[in-house]
Amino acid sequence: MSDFDWDGSDVVLEHQPKTAVYTNDRGQVVIRQEAGSLDPEDVWVYFDAANALSLCKAILEAAGHDDIEFVRNCGGLSYEDIEIPERRARRSPAEQVEQMKAARPDVDWDKASADFDKLAAKTAPKDPTAAERKRRQRERERDTRDTTPLAPVTSVTSAVTPQPAPRDAWLFNEEAKESALAR
C-alpha cells in the first residue's frame, strides 16, 4: 500500500498511471508514478533542479514538440529567452579514440596499441576447437573404461548372508513378552 496521496494537487496526469511531480527534502525534483495492478510499488525518478530545463526540453523533443521555446518573466510585460545547451550527440568509438589520443599527446599510441595487441594474442585461446577436442577425448576415455571386462568371479556365496543375533534378542522372544504382560 502506498503512503502517497494520489488524489492530491501534485498529480499531473490522470489517464495513465497517475504521475506526480514534487521536490524532496534534498531539493531534487521527483517524478513519481503510481504502481499499477502488477507493480509491487510506485516508480520514482529523481533529478537535480538544475537539470529541470534540459530534461523538459528532452521530453518535449521526444514528444515531437521541437518548436517550443522557453522564456522567463523579467517583471511586468518583459520576457527573455532561456538558452538551454544542446544535448551532445553520441560519438562513435572511432571518434572517442581520436579524442582520447588528442587529450593525451604524451602517450606513444602506436607503442601502446602494439603492447595491447601482444597482450590480446597471449590471452586469446590458442585453438578455438580445443574444448571440442577435450570433450571427444573424455568420451573416448569413458567408452574404454566402460568396456573393460569385470574381474572373474572366483567363488560363489549365498545370496543371503546370516546376520548375528542382536544382543537384545531376548526382548523380542514371545515368552518374554507374555511373562512381562502377566506381571
The predicted-structure confidence for 154-183, as pLDDT tens digits, reads as follows 666 555 566 666 555 555 566 666 666 665
Q: What is the per-residue pLDDT for 32?
A: 92
> pLDDT digits over 11-40, tens only?
887 667 888 999 999 999 999 998 887 778
pTM for the model stands at 0.40
Identify the residue with better confidence: 62 or 146: 62
| pLDDT score recorded for residue 160 | 59
**Contact of 74 with 80, CB cutoff 8 Å:** yes
Task: Check whether 81 has a pLDDT greater than 70.
Answer: yes
The identity of residue 172, as a single letter, is: F
- pLDDT value of residue 163: 63
Cβ contact 4:36 at 8 Å: no
Residues 86-128 pLDDT 10s: 777 777 888 888 888 888 889 898 898 888 888 887 776 666 6
Contacts for 24 with CB less than 8 Å, ≥ 6 apart:
30, 46
Residue showing cell 518583459: 78
Q: Which of 48, 50, 54, 10 lies closest to 28, judged by CA?
A: 48
